[in-house]
Structure 1
Amino acid sequence: MAGEQLGVLNALDVAKTQWYHFTAIIIAGMGFFTDAYDLFCISLVTKLLGRIYYHVDGAEKPGTLPPNVSAAVNGVAFCGTLAGQLFFGWLGDKMGRKKVYGMTLMLMVICSVASGLSFGHSANGVMATLCFFRFWLGFGIGGDYPLSATIMSEYANKKTRGAFIAAVFAMQGFGILAGGMFALIISSAFMARFDAPAYEVNAVASTVPQADYVWRIILMVGALPAALTYYWRMKMPETARYTALVAKNAKQAASDMSKVLQVDLEAEEQKVQKMSEATTNSFGLFTKAFLRRHGLHLLGTTTTWFLLDIAFYSQNLFQKDIFSAIGWIPAAKTMNAIQEVFKIARAQTLIALFSTVPGYWFTVFLIDRIGRFAIQLMGFFFMTVFMFALAIPYDHWTHKDNRIGFVIMYSLTFFFANFGPNATTFVVPAEIFPARLRSTCHGISAASGKLGAMVGAFGFLYLAQNQDKTKTDAGYPAGIGVRNSLIVLGVVNFLGMLFTFLVPESKGKSLEEMSGENEDADAEEGQPAAHNNRTVPV
């Protein structure tokens, strides 16, 4: 039998969209802006790092990062992010969302600056220091995932909750865009400041001292948006759902939300006490009751996020290699280091501007209309279609006359990733689990995604390096590695479509209705929970 909803939680569920909703979106979203900038800006500077630290005097080609170093530089932040998602997700349920929120932000600020100050007596020493600081940067970023999603879901009303959570995540698109635009500005400024012909003479070596400043500045700027948000994060009150349902403090929850909603709310201490007594032996994460009620849901959120991130992060981190393979970015030996940063940043900025960012906001506007399930299934489907459409006739796309067509279709995979599973895999885990386990389960789901990102980063690097010796008519490698990678990513997206059927639809329902927290705690053992909706929404 369903229990009665607390007044303070019902007030949040039915509240009209107010200024505090937009404030929460900005405060939480700036963390994701920073997350995306910090995670993806490394792809803008990896080729520059190879030129600066691994160029051999007299060599005909510019220096490149050794495969093991490249894998470490690209992937170490994901290792930290995975650990941070698990740790801070668990801590958010133990200590409260707000107490942990500031820790993650300060870690991001400190490690962003430290990454740009990486030092060492040798090239490997500098890379080792960079990897150390990027691991801890990732650790802080990881904490932002479960905390931001949980805070936004617990502040939102049930009518537009999906849009609010998706809007927080959509700030990731602006972070990716900002990284590309800032790299364009810095590289342009350095090319204008220093004599361009001098660079051209030494285009292959490109070891001018000024080039070393470019990557350091790009990495350190990621600290600014996080630092500017810290004060406002500390002013946010704890969410009412944590205070009332987990901390069992009805008076504090009513007081906090009265200020937020600007209405008088009653402190229902007796009702909270009754709920507390009824749920003294509530199931934990590693129990048969959790497995029965939410086991398939957790399997669905972890597998779909894992599969999505294999494809999504592979595309983002190595799109520069794909564009080089089809000839959209000129051969490295024809450019100096800073010119190469400029051209890579320009390509990634165009992709972000015309496909990545619009995809996020299509989700924001439509998620509460057509639902999470439909958007996720559609996104995986079209990602699968476009990946195979690029991979199967790959030789056709490498011809210089068809290059623009390749870029357009490749851009559409980004659009449907973001108007699809990249947004919904973030939203759903913040809605379907109990308050006492919500942050933990979101952290587990997100960590599964980062495991997929690591598989994508390291796996794609291996496949993309297995290029054959043949050349296209434009003089670029045909790249059986790129073709193989696209085929693998197509299969991964298809599997994601299948596992989407394990994820429940949460559109228009309260968090307590989805998790079953307002049900009678003394329900008969083994009786199906009333909240346990059909896994496949039809």
Structure 2
Amino acid sequence: MAAPFNTLIPHRLDRLPWSRFHWLVVIALGVTWTLDGLEVTLVGALAGAIHNSPSLRLSSTQIGFTASAYLLGAVCGALFFGWLADRLGRKKLFTLTVLLYLSATIATGFSWDFWSFAIFRFLTGAGIGGEYSAVNSAIQELIPARRRGVTDIAINGTFWGGASIGALASVVLLDPAVIDPDLGWRLAFGIGGALSIVVLFLRRWIPESPRWLMTHGRREEAEKVVGEIEAWVEVEAGPLPKVQGKPISINPRRHTGLGEVARTLFRTYPERAILGLVLMSCQAFCYNAVFFTYALILTKFYGIEAQHIGWFMLAFALGNLAGPLTLGHFFDSIGRRIMITATYAIAGLLMAATGLAFAQGWLSAWEQTAAWTVIFFFASAAASAAYLTVGESFPLEMRALGIALFYALGTAVGGVAGPALFGWLIEGGQRQDIMWGYLLGASLMLVAAGTEWKLGFAAEGRSLEDVARPLSQASDPAN
């Protein structure tokens, strides 16, 4: 292993002005959330058509379980690929995961029964889960500290750009005047595959994370990558600002053992571990429970035909997209703690009120959609901030695995159970029963708000190495 060395790599990356390079990172890597939003919306908007498909005819409960299969796949994929991303690097993994996603989502369109559909959804989820860990860590390590909050939250919010694409696609592909709906829902799953081909091309230009190279002793390669990024930015922005800050000393390591990861989580940063788990699990339950089953609510309780579901989902998705894009910069200016607490709390209170209104039958289909749109304007920013929080909370050597672990735990605790529970409640046909599910979701959002207020920490404008000291960083500079 290489000898200890001093480096200014983090400071050099953080002082760069925003440039076309950063836009490339945002587009080529951030598309992960667009793909996830597309997948989730397709299953939600296509639920009625899949339920009525002559070749599948899945029940409401089975549709709920296939949604859970997708999320379970995401959990397994996040853990496995997150572990690999910290060992093998970000770049190798975000190529492998998008290939898995591409293959599995196209295969979903060829499903022939419940089990084949569920298995392909599991594999699609595994690709997306792996993307979250490898891509989230790479983005945070390449974006300047002063723009990390707004960038990360906005990128997470593009989930709803994918949701909008899925909603519009379902309107066309489920219209009997355009195409046979049983063929249309199958073709819809090819959209993500087509986008993935473009993504593979763009990612050829994204370098390995210099921060990852730095901690793994590949100093010369890290310096070369940073120099190339600086040259790229300098052509566009002119002379770069002077590097500020003292060098940090790195004792390189090949990998970080699971035992050290566990000690870091539960001994060094126990409060951050609790905070990450609460934020991730609470938002996962609310989002997945509501969104995966929203089409079933519209068809069963409001009589909306399957080919019209996409218009309702589009309005819902646009409200969710607007939240992070509108509120994101406040997480850097006002601060993480205040904004995360506020967005979780507002979403929880509005969700409780809407659940009660639904139980009383006071809302039409469009009024119900408008209420959810307002709720998730705030909840979308809150959920995006949860991913930002777990990415910033822990040292660089375990960042991808940390993101994967909390994504997996949060999704397993709050996400996998949500769609199955709500699918079962909807099949029962009683508004009062579903109301209790919504009130449970609202309570969880309020619990998350209180936890953030108690355990939240300031990360805005601070270097990742300042927020969480790298495990390989020596106490004193090396000679």
Name the TM-score, length of structure 1 as normaliser. Answer: 0.79
Are the counterparts in 1 of residues 425 and 434 from structure 2 also a CA contact under 8 Å? Answer: yes
Residues in 1 aligned to 2:162 and 2:204: alpha-carbon distance in whole angstroms: 22
**1:179-218 to 2 correspondences below 5 Å:** 179-188=166-175, 190-192=176-178, 210-218=180-188
| Other structure's SS at 1:367 match | helix
Find 1:152's aligned residue among 139, 146, 150: 139
Residues in 2 aligned to 1:223 and 1:192: alpha-carbon distance in whole angstroms: 22
Are the counterparts in 1 of residues 6 and 250 from structure 2 also a CA contact under 8 Å? Answer: no
Residues in 1 aligned to 2:53 and 2:286: alpha-carbon distance in whole angstroms: 30
Residues in 1 aligned to 2:264 and 2:188: alpha-carbon distance in whole angstroms: 48
Residues in 2 aligned to 1:146 and 1:9: alpha-carbon distance in whole angstroms: 20
Find 1:220's aligned residue among 190, 197, 201: 190
**1:85-484 to 2 correspondences below 5 Å:** 85-119=78-112, 126-188=113-175, 190-192=176-178, 210-245=180-215, 247-262=216-231, 275-276=250-251, 285-286=260-261, 288=263, 290-324=265-299, 327=302, 329-330=303-304, 340-353=305-318, 355-396=319-360, 398-399=361-362, 404-419=366-381, 421-451=382-412, 452-468=414-430, 479-484=431-436
| CA apart distance, 1:254 | 0.9
| Residues 409 and 98 of structure 1, relative CA distance in 2, 3 Å threshold | same
Residues in 1 aligned to 2:115 and 2:380: alpha-carbon distance in whole angstroms: 33
| CA apart distance, 1:94 | 0.5
Aligned to 1:14: 15
| Residues 257 and 413 of structure 1, relative CA distance in 2, 3 Å threshold | same
Cα deviation code 1:46-65 (max 9, x no counterpart): 2212212389xxxxxxxx63
Cα deviation code 1:222-269 (max 9, x no counterpart): 111111110221332111100012x1111111101111121699xxxx
Larger CA deviation: 495-504 vs 28-37: 495-504
| Other structure's SS at 2:145 match | coil
| CA apart distance, 1:465 | 2.9
Cα deviation code 1:489-509 (max 9, x no counterpart): 111212211222323221011
Name the TM-score, length of structure 2 as normaliser. Answer: 0.89
Are the counterparts in 2 of residues 301 and 503 from structure 1 also a CA contact under 8 Å? Answer: no
Amino acid at match of 2:278: T
| CA apart distance, 1:40 | 2.6
Aligned to 1:489: 441
Q: Between Structure 1 and Structure 2, how many residues are aligned?
A: 460
Amino acid at match of 2:438: L
| CA apart distance, 1:321 | 3.1
Are the counterparts in 2 of residues 466 and 480 from structure 1 also a CA contact under 8 Å? Answer: no
Residues in 1 aligned to 2:469 and 2:336: alpha-carbon distance in whole angstroms: 19
| Other structure's SS at 1:424 match | helix
| Residues 82 and 19 of structure 1, relative CA distance in 2, 3 Å threshold | same
| CA apart distance, 1:326 | 5.3
Are the counterparts in 1 of residues 105 and 193 from structure 2 also a CA contact under 8 Å? Answer: yes
| Other structure's SS at 1:160 match | helix
Larger CA deviation: 252-261 vs 455-464: 455-464
| CA apart distance, 1:464 | 2.6
Aligned to 1:73: 66
Aligned to 2:244: none
Amino acid at match of 1:314: A
Amino acid at match of 2:391: A
**Structure exhibiting the larger radius of gyration computed from Cα positions:** 1
Q: Does 2:456 align with 1:503?
A: yes
Amino acid at match of 1:261: E
| Other structure's SS at 2:416 match | helix
Residues in 2 aligned to 1:252 and 1:503: alpha-carbon distance in whole angstroms: 36
**Percent identity over paired residues:** 18
| Other structure's SS at 2:458 match | coil
| Residues 112 and 192 of structure 1, relative CA distance in 2, 3 Å threshold | closer
| Residues 288 and 114 of structure 1, relative CA distance in 2, 3 Å threshold | closer
| Residues 282 and 342 of structure 1, relative CA distance in 2, 3 Å threshold | closer
Are the counterparts in 2 of residues 47 and 65 from structure 1 also a CA contact under 8 Å? Answer: no
Which structure exhibits the higher relative contact order, with contacts defined as CA atoms closer than 8 Å and separated by 6 or more residues?
A: 2
Residues in 1 aligned to 2:131 and 2:255: alpha-carbon distance in whole angstroms: 30
Amino acid at match of 1:30: V
| Residues 5 and 480 of structure 1, relative CA distance in 2, 3 Å threshold | farther
Cα deviation code 1:279-329 (max 9, x no counterpart): 9999954454553322221221122101111001111111223334653x4
Amino acid at match of 2:446: F
Cα deviation code 1:167-221 (max 9, x no counterpart): 3212211000100011112234x4146xxxxxxxxxxxxxxxx332011011121
| Residues 103 and 289 of structure 1, relative CA distance in 2, 3 Å threshold | closer
Gaps of 5+ in 1: 56-63, 120-125, 194-209, 266-270, 331-339, 469-478, 524-538
Residues in 2 aligned to 1:393 and 1:303: alpha-carbon distance in whole angstroms: 27
Aligned to 2:28: 27
| Residues 161 and 5 of structure 1, relative CA distance in 2, 3 Å threshold | farther
Amino acid at match of 1:414: F
| Residues 454 and 383 of structure 1, relative CA distance in 2, 3 Å threshold | same
Residues in 2 aligned to 1:517 and 1:192: alpha-carbon distance in whole angstroms: 56
Residues in 1 aligned to 2:371 and 2:262: alpha-carbon distance in whole angstroms: 46
Residues in 2 aligned to 1:96 and 1:5: alpha-carbon distance in whole angstroms: 21
| Residues 108 and 326 of structure 1, relative CA distance in 2, 3 Å threshold | same
RMSD of aligned alpha carbons: 2.8
| Other structure's SS at 2:217 match | coil
Cα deviation code 1:341-395 (max 9, x no counterpart): 3211111111112x11101212333221122222221111111111221233445
| CA apart distance, 1:72 | 2.5
Amino acid at match of 2:307: F
| Residues 513 and 46 of structure 1, relative CA distance in 2, 3 Å threshold | same
| CA apart distance, 1:405 | 4.2
| Residues 67 and 254 of structure 1, relative CA distance in 2, 3 Å threshold | same
Residues in 1 aligned to 2:359 and 2:132: alpha-carbon distance in whole angstroms: 40
Are the counterparts in 2 of residues 384 and 494 from structure 1 also a CA contact under 8 Å? Answer: yes
Are the counterparts in 1 of residues 150 and 329 from structure 2 also a CA contact under 8 Å? Answer: yes
